[in-house]
Amino acid sequence: MNYVEAKKEFIQTWGTLGNHWGTNRTMSQIHALLLISPDALTTEDIMNELSISRGNTNMNVRDLMDWGLVHKVLKQGERKEYFQAEKDIWKVATQVAKERKKRELDPMIKALEKLSALEGPGKDKKIKAFKNVLEDIQEVAKNTDKTLNTMIKAEENWFWSQLLKVFK
């Protein structure tokens, strides 16, 4: 497989994987392109490489910036905007985890807390079964939340330890 074929396959695969991470295919394909590009790319570069419209490119680049996966690069003397992906895969994974936690897990935990206030006689078979399921789901959700928080904190702790080393 040559570079062009491998690049195309990577972009397609990353686009498919993105659906599992909570992003759309095009957003993930743009991310893949920026991830493997050694230089920052313009909107036009992205449009031409992926054969997508300007509007689609702009909307998805903005979403990638909102997710913290892509940032704008300023080039002196240039009027065009350039974009570059975060290259540290651990940081990418941490950002995806943060966003998914914020968009999916946190609202689910809030909804489960609201539902757990269900009133009714504890002897009622249906209510008891419902409460048991809620408790089990809450347990899994809280453990997932703790795990994600640990992952996120690990990145923050690494950053602060590295920063402190600089000032020693």
SS3 letters for 36-82?
HCCCCEEHHHHHHHHCCCHHHHHHHHHHHHHCCCEEEECCCCCCCCE
Same domain flag for 60 and 106: no
pLDDT of 37 reads 97
Mean pLDDT (the chain, rounded): 88
100 with 72, same domain? Answer: no
CATH number where 13 lies: 1.10.10.10
Q: Are residues 132 and 98 in the same domain?
A: yes
pLDDT number for residue 22: 79
Domain boundary among 85, 116, 139: 85
Q: How many domains does the chain have?
A: 2
The tokens 């206030």 sit on which residue? 117
Statement: residue 150 has pLDDT above 90: no
Note down the domain range covering 114.
89-166
User: Which of 57, 85, 113 lies at the terminal end of a domain, its last residue?
Assistant: 85
Q: Are 100 and 21 in contact (CB under 8 A)?
A: yes
Which one of 70, 85, 100 terminates a domain?
85
Q: Are 148 and 105 in contact (CB under 8 A)?
A: yes
Is residue 47 located within the same domain as residue 22? yes
- φ, ψ for residue 131, nearest 5 deg: -65, -40
- Asked whether residue 56 falls in the same domain as residue 106, the answer is no
Same domain, 77 and 96: no
Same-domain pairing of 104 and 131:
yes
Per residue in 23-59, pLDDT (tens digit) is 899 999 999 999 999 999 999 999 999 999 999 999 9
Distance CA 23, CA 21 (A): 6
What's the pTM value of the predicted model, to 2 decimals? 0.75
Identify whether residues 12 and 65 lie together within a single domain. yes
- Distance, in Å, from the CA atom of 151 to the CA atom of 144, rounded to the nearest integer, reads 11
Same domain membership, residue 123 and residue 51: no
Q: pLDDT tens digits for 113-123?
A: 898 887 766 67
Q: Looking at the structure, tell me whether residues 105 and 160 fall in a common domain.
A: yes
- CA 31, 160, 145, 30: dihedral to nearest 10 degrees? 0
